[in-house]
Amino acid sequence: MSAMSKFPFIVLNKDEIDFESLLVGKTMSHRVTVKNSSLVQTNIKVEKIKDDEKDSSFSTNFTEGVLPPHSEAFITIEYKP
């Protein structure tokens, strides 16, 4: 028995996001493009790093979904200290 599989190739358009020095009460957002360059669809999921769950300064407009082959998803990341 043998099998062959294809792995999705996911690329972000930014390596890092800098919200600079933002004053409390102000809001800044950045848009990130997630691209699936493969021939197969893939599931994507955006999760907050597991910490003490006390920091709610960051939010996104996307949590999870399916990214078809050769397509893009646009995710907005918002920071409100």
Q: What is the 3-state secondary structure (H, E, C) of 28-48?
A: EEEEEEEEECCCCCEEEECCC
Q: Which two tokens stand for residue 34?
A: 């997630």
Cα distances (angstroms) measured from residue 50 to each of 27, 37, 55, 81? 23, 29, 11, 19
Q: Residue 76 is part of which domain span?
A: 25-47+55-81
Q: Is 18 contained in some domain?
A: no
Q: Is 68 contained in some domain?
A: yes
Q: Is 78 contained in some domain?
A: yes
Q: Is 9 contained in some domain?
A: no
pLDDT digits (tens, 9 = 90+) for 14-57: 888 898 888 888 999 999 999 998 888 888 888 877 776 677 88
pLDDT value for 5: 53
The number of distinct structural domains making up the chain is: 1
Q: Is 60 contained in some domain?
A: yes
pLDDT value for 75: 93
Considering the entire predicted model, what is its pTM?
A: 0.74
pLDDT value for 6: 58
pLDDT value for 27: 94
> What DSSP character marks residue 53?
S
Please check whether residue 27 is in contact with residue 2, taking contact to mean a CB–CB distance below 8 angstroms.
no
Q: Is 8 contained in some domain?
A: no
